Chains A and B, each alone.
Chain A
Amino acid sequence: AQSVAQPEDQVNVAEGNPLTVKCTYSVSGNPYLFWYVQYPNRGLQFLLKYITGDNLVKGSYGFEAEFNKSQTSFHLKKPSALVSDSALYFCAVRDPRGGGSNYKLTFGKGTLLTVNP
């Protein structure tokens, strides 16, 4: 069974500093990995994904994520945080084999990012 862990419930950073939101995963074979962001009283918005190829993936709003197969990690990063980045962030994994229940995503419990002015 696939699983995702986000070890930090909350991350606080100062505006202008780099930020990292951590994610580790467990899945059979090569994973498909996703990051989503949720602003208050809204649904989840897709940020970026890793499918194959370059381990550094770039996404929306200046975010990027680094896939590390040996550490089974997919940490979300941004070089310079903005106050508007404050939100709830979810990491998710999917089994790349198609068909039936493999279409579903398994989500982490989320990390609340607060960027202080």
Chain B
Amino acid sequence: DVKVTQSSRYLVKRTGEKVFLECVQDMDHENMFWYRQDPGLGLRLIYFSYDVKMKEKGDIPEGYSVSREKKERFSLILESASTNQTSMYLCASSSDRTNQPQHFGDGTRLSIL
């Protein structure tokens, strides 16, 4: 069974801090994704990566960066956290085959005070 693990379920940080969210998958998937989920807005793609050291901007990349140094790990970085980045963050992974679903972690609920 695919396992996508996000390092924290709940996180509280202060405005201006640099925040790291970590995600690890155990299925040797090529593709990894970061989304944020807000009430009434659904899931919005922040960044994704289809290979090690490769990244592409999603729909809302502003204020975020990512790192993928190893195939199993995909990190989301909030360079200088702001209160409007308070949200639920979801990581997902998928294989290289487009007919396969994405598999999600349980999410990190991030609060920026």
Q: Name B67-102 residues within 8 Å CB distance of A.
A: 90, 92, 94, 96-99, 101-102
Q: A90-B42, A97-B98, A104-B45 are in contact. Are A42 and B56 (CB under 8 A)?
A: no
Q: Name A33-70 residues within 8 Å CB distance of B.
A: 34, 36, 41-46, 49, 51
Q: Are A44 and B90 in contact (CB under 8 A)?
A: yes
A63 to chain B, nearest CB (A): 14
- Provide a sorted-by-A list of 28 A–B residue pairs whose CB atoms are within 8 angstroms: A32-B98, A34-B101, A41-B9, A41-B106, A41-B109, A42-B106, A43-B4, A43-B92, A43-B104, A43-B107, A44-B90, A44-B92, A46-B101, A49-B99, A51-B99, A90-B42, A100-B50, A100-B56, A101-B56, A103-B96, A103-B98, A104-B33, A104-B45, A105-B102, A107-B43, A109-B40, A109-B41, A110-B42
- Specify the chain A residue showing the minimal Cβ separation from B48: A104
- Specify the chain A residue showing the minimal Cβ separation from B109: A41
Task: Fill in one digit per residue for A87-103: 1 if any B CB lies within 8 Å of its CB, else 0.
Answer: 00010001111101111
Which residues does chain B contribute within 8 Å of A34, judged by CB atoms?
A: 101
B9 to chain A, nearest CB (A): 8
Q: Are B31 and A44 in contact (CB under 8 A)?
A: no
Q: Are A41 and B107 in contact (CB under 8 A)?
A: yes
Q: Which residues of B contact A (CB under 8 A)?
A: 4, 9, 31, 33, 40-43, 45, 48, 50, 56, 58, 90, 92, 94, 96-99, 101-107, 109
User: What interface size band does chain A fall in?
Assistant: 20 to 34
Q: Are A109 and B42 in contact (CB under 8 A)?
A: yes
Known contacts A51-B99, A97-B98, A100-B50; 8 further A-B pairs (Cβ under 8 A): A32-B98, A32-B99, A36-B101, A44-B43, A49-B99, A103-B48, A103-B94, A104-B48
Which residues does chain A contribute within 8 Å of B107, judged by CB atoms?
A: 41-43
